[in-house]
Structure 1
């Protein structure tokens, strides 16, 4: 296990790293459409995820003005409802806010609690401010500040999103550790000089042999040990 030294602040990706986004969305779709079988729910989840990815790419390519994830999720929920024949406005409206109610992974709450006693801890997410506020409360995530890409009107892996985290931490980039389950996210952080730690998740984007991250861990418990062994409070 790689021990990581000389870190002054820890920044966590949220969606997929601290919370199970696909699992949470799948559960919300099932609640909205209780008669749907598993293949139908999986198809609707894929429709949601494709819409979000496509729209964020269009924004990155300047083909669409910036829209936050609350807006894009509402569009995705409408597409899911139209595909499934769901017409109840209240049910569609609740589905549109599914991103606020995603479940944490089993080790997320305890790991944040431990690290927050030793480091400034930040969430850094493409999720909108409103989504992060509700999600943090729902999942019981303890961080000192939740940073949204909405602030810089861009989406990761745009460099300005990572610079937001570095500027907020108030220290040199190589003293700020970015933690994520997505190799593409860590590559973006590395490009602006941040340190990087990959944490394995069932829904993540694993690194390749070419990725030079500071550490690779099977869970957040290993990461906590790597950051705190031998470190004074």
Structure 2
């Protein structure tokens, strides 16, 4: 008997290198940008998105999708860097559509799909996800955006999107992510959890108790292949 009815993946950071892609886009938009400055500008971008998502969670701002937040962050970075070329700013704003997958992402996803339905669940907007997954070569049985819940992870309603779509109880859904905060959100709605190490992830704390911890997707494939 199969242990899980569905495997749900975070995408940004877990399946694609989000910080690396944003960093490359910043350096493209700001010619001759030395590494330290590029890191500071990347921090401005990430800080803006995190701050605005927190404001939404606290009720201080109406819901805005990731494409809107990326456009705001790109404009902020451009202002700080002195970039005035509107076409360069517009390209920077869509950097999340061109993130590169990790080496094991596409093959691991394909292998898992032979054993169990695989679903992507991201706070990226629908349009961003469409273009990102085409660019990265990721193929899903189903792809869900937090847009449908009008909230960002780790809000419980985002995880319930996946549970409702899969039509299964939470204990039969496995959430896979490189971010411990994401897995904690999944745990709060009763999902099982698997942490996958990525260089840009949020590692577990000593008190975290996830069901599985793996160095890469090969571990998830072995788990599901055995369970299947």
Category of TM-score, reference length = shorter chain: over 0.9
1:154 to 151, 156, 162: 151
The 3 A distance-change label for structure 1 pair 67 and 211 is same
Tell me the C-alpha RMSD between the 2 structures.
0.9
Alignment check: 8 A CA contact 1:121 1:143 kept = yes
Within 5 Å, give how 1:54-73 maps onto structure 2: 54-73=51-70
**Count of equivalent residues:** 227
Question: 2: CA distance between counterparts of 1:138 and 1:170?
Answer: 29
Within 5 Å, give how 1:53-202 maps onto structure 2: 53-202=50-199
Alignment check: 8 A CA contact 1:116 1:142 kept = no
Question: 2: CA distance between counterparts of 1:97 and 1:134?
Answer: 10
Alignment check: 8 A CA contact 2:196 2:217 kept = yes
For residue 216 of structure 1, give the secondary structure of its aligned residue in structure 2: strand
Task: Kindly state the Cα deviation for residue 230 of structure 1 after the two structures are TM-superposed.
Answer: 5.6
Matched, 1:30 2:21: no
Could you state the TM-score of these two structures normalised by the residue count of structure 1? Answer: 0.95
Q: Hey, what does 1:12 align to over in structure 2?
A: 9
**CA deviation vs aligned residue, 1:141-170 (integer Å, no higher than 9, x gap):** 011111111111001000000000111111
Q: Hey, what does 2:206 align to over in structure 1?
A: 209
Question: 1: CA distance between counterparts of 2:34 and 2:13?
Answer: 24
Question: 2: CA distance between counterparts of 1:42 and 1:176?
Answer: 37
Question: 1: CA distance between counterparts of 2:227 and 2:151?
Answer: 38
**CA deviation vs aligned residue, 1:47-98 (integer Å, no higher than 9, x gap):** 0000000000001111011100100000000000000000001010010000
Structure 1 gap ranges (5+) = none
Question: 2: CA distance between counterparts of 1:141 and 1:212?
Answer: 29
Question: 2: CA distance between counterparts of 1:26 and 1:34?
Answer: 12
Runs of 4+ in structure 1 off by over 2 angstroms are: none
Task: Kindly state the Cα deviation for residue 209 of structure 1 after the two structures are TM-superposed.
Answer: 2.4
Question: 1: CA distance between counterparts of 2:122 and 2:26?
Answer: 22
For residue 147 of structure 1, give the secondary structure of its aligned residue in structure 2: strand
Task: Kindly state the Cα deviation for residue 33 of structure 1 after the two structures are TM-superposed.
Answer: 1.4
Alignment check: 8 A CA contact 2:115 2:224 kept = no
The 3 A distance-change label for structure 1 pair 183 and 230 is closer
Alignment check: 8 A CA contact 2:178 2:198 kept = yes
